[in-house]
Chains A and B, each alone.
Chain A
């Protein structure tokens, strides 16, 4: 009983941490531009796929992972430079449609550049489950959770403790005032794309040993990350983390105690429930404050 619950909780937290990282990517870009970047899932896919193909070509895993994150950051910056920046001044809806186009494009390129099969990476510390109170925990789960904690911490320190991070928060709080004090908000948006891509790629590298990857894993991950960001309250980094963990836990508990057939429906249910009952999300800005 307890062992079973623990098993579900750990797997829920593990996928939840990945959703939280995806949601964090949504949050950063949304805060800098009101744009929901639907290519966020493709960043995760690229992180996993580039690592898989680089290791297959003989590159040692740590270097392959580093290259994958670097390459994805470059893709994120290019996406901003070539697709978002030229459309500056367009409405948020137009920009969102551009990101959907970019997501389809990236998937198409990945399908051609890599292939259409599923791929796996070996667990970073092997794949022998670690027994814990009767449950069996994959060592990779600790890598995912530890990696996610490090990323959250790094991002938190950047946003709260550095002047550049405060400029990013100021841009989120009031874009006009940020421009008036001389913050280059276009650069903040470029930075957000780069950082979101890097975070997404790191999530992809960490989780691929558990979940497999292929050219099209991004779609579902984006949906789940989006559900997490909505639940936490679009625009709140803390909300993204809490929302991600909650969606992951709901999914794992639902799959464990109800039926795994409906696992992917959880994210849809969360989106619908939030829209009806909690439009601002758990940590969202209140309507009054936004005026």
Chain B
């Protein structure tokens, strides 16, 4: 479904991605784990088109989308819940969701909002309140819900567990697993919390300073001694 070929991206002279290649098959949950500054966020931003790719290609369902605008990629079925949640603070919870379905019909939007509220009932209670007033966990749910509003086939999640209590992390991971199971959404999950991510992932990649290191199934990586030492602190 998604194929990234030798992708490069730089901030001025800092080369954040030095030729990253990976792929995600339809219906998979793929985890991308790695330490601080490894280039995870940069990769997801390139995939959504909000950062230009310096070299390499991105293919989505066979089409070369490397130079596509962000809104064209959303329309094609790629949505992202960004690092740090990035909700529209002054806008209400409901308006945040509505904007996620920007460009979709009214009926479809209303139906999407109800689905998100069914998934995260706490958001329904706060539907009219400004998103900036929500707790961290609620903002995370809102960011994921907002991304789902465009009915993506590929969902990019950037560190959904950051700053959340362990119980909430489990809750978010269950939600991700359920999304794939019930709605057939393909997921590329970026995490520093490697245990949580690899536990629900079919496959995983480890990224180190802009390059892919190990890769394998979630279970393989979880039991790989080198990965355990470097990323799981075991």
- List residues of chain A with CB under 8 Å of any chain B CB: 163, 166-167, 169-170, 173-174, 176-184, 289
Q: How far is the CB of B163 from chain A (nearest CB, A)?
A: 15
B100 near A181 with CB under 8 A, answer: yes
> What CA separation (Å) do A288 and B48 show in the bound complex?
28
**Stretch from B11-19, B86-94, B197-205 that touches the partner:** B86-94
Given A170-B99, A176-B50, A176-B82, A181-B150 contact (CB < 8 Å) = yes
A-B pairs with beta carbons under 8 Å apart, 24 shown? A163-B98, A163-B99, A163-B102, A170-B88, A170-B91, A170-B99, A173-B88, A173-B90, A174-B87, A174-B89, A177-B87, A177-B88, A178-B88, A179-B48, A179-B50, A180-B48, A180-B82, A181-B99, A181-B100, A181-B147, A182-B70, A183-B99, A184-B69, A184-B71
On whether the beta carbons of B88 and A180 are closer than 8 Å, the reply is no
In this complex, how many residues of chain B approach chain A with their Cβ under 8 Å: the count is: 28
Which residue in A176, A178, A179, A289 is a CB contact (below 8 Å) of B132? A289
CB distance from A188 to the nearest CB of B (A): 11
Residue B95 at the chain A interface, CB threshold 8 Å:
yes
Contact of B75 with A by CB under 8 A: yes
**Which residue of the partner chain B has the closest CB to A180?**
B80
Bound together, the chains give a CA A180 to CA B84 distance in angstroms of 13
Q: Would you call B89 and A289 a contact (CB within 8 A)?
A: yes
Contact across chains for A182 and B98 when beta carbons are under 8 A apart: no
> In chain A, what residue has the closest Cβ to B73?
A182
Q: Within 8 Å CB of B98, what residues of A?
A: 163, 166
The interface bits of chain B over 19-51 (1 if a CB of A lies within 8 angstroms of the residue's CB, else 0) are 000000000000000000000000000001110
In the complex, which residue of chain B has the Cβ closest to the Cβ of A182? B74
The answer, yes or no, to whether B67 is at the interface (CB within 8 Å) is no
Report if B146 contacts A (CB, 8 A).
yes
A184 to B69, CA, bound (A): 9
Contacts of A289 in B (CB 8 A): 89, 132
**B71 x A182 contact (CB < 8 A):** yes
Chain B residues with Cβ under 8 A from A176's Cβ? 50, 82, 86
A184 and B68 CA atoms in complex are apart in Å by 12
How far apart sit A176 and B149, CA to CA, in the bound complex (Å)?
Answer: 17
Q: Which 6 A-B pairs have the closest CB atoms?
A: A182-B74, A177-B86, A182-B71, A173-B88, A179-B70, A170-B88
Interface status of B103 (Cβ within 8 A of chain A): yes
Residues of chain A within 8 A (CB-CB) of B70 are 179-180, 182
B153 to nearest A CB, angstroms? 14
The closest CB in chain B to the CB of A186 belongs to: B69
CB within 8 Å for A182 and B150 given contacts A166-B99, A167-B102: yes
Q: Are A174 and B102 in contact (CB under 8 A)?
A: no
Quick one: closest A residue to B44, CB to CB? A180
Measured between alpha carbons, how far is A227 from B87 in the docked complex, in Å?
A: 31
The answer for the CA separation of A173 and B89 in the assembled complex, in Å, is: 7
Partner of B102, one of A169, A173, A181: A181
CB nearest neighbor in A for B86: A177
Which residues of A have CB within 8 Å of B74?
A: 180-182
Residues of B within 8 A of A179 (CB): 48-50, 70-71
Find out whether the CB atom of B71 lies under 8 angstroms from the CB atom of A183. yes
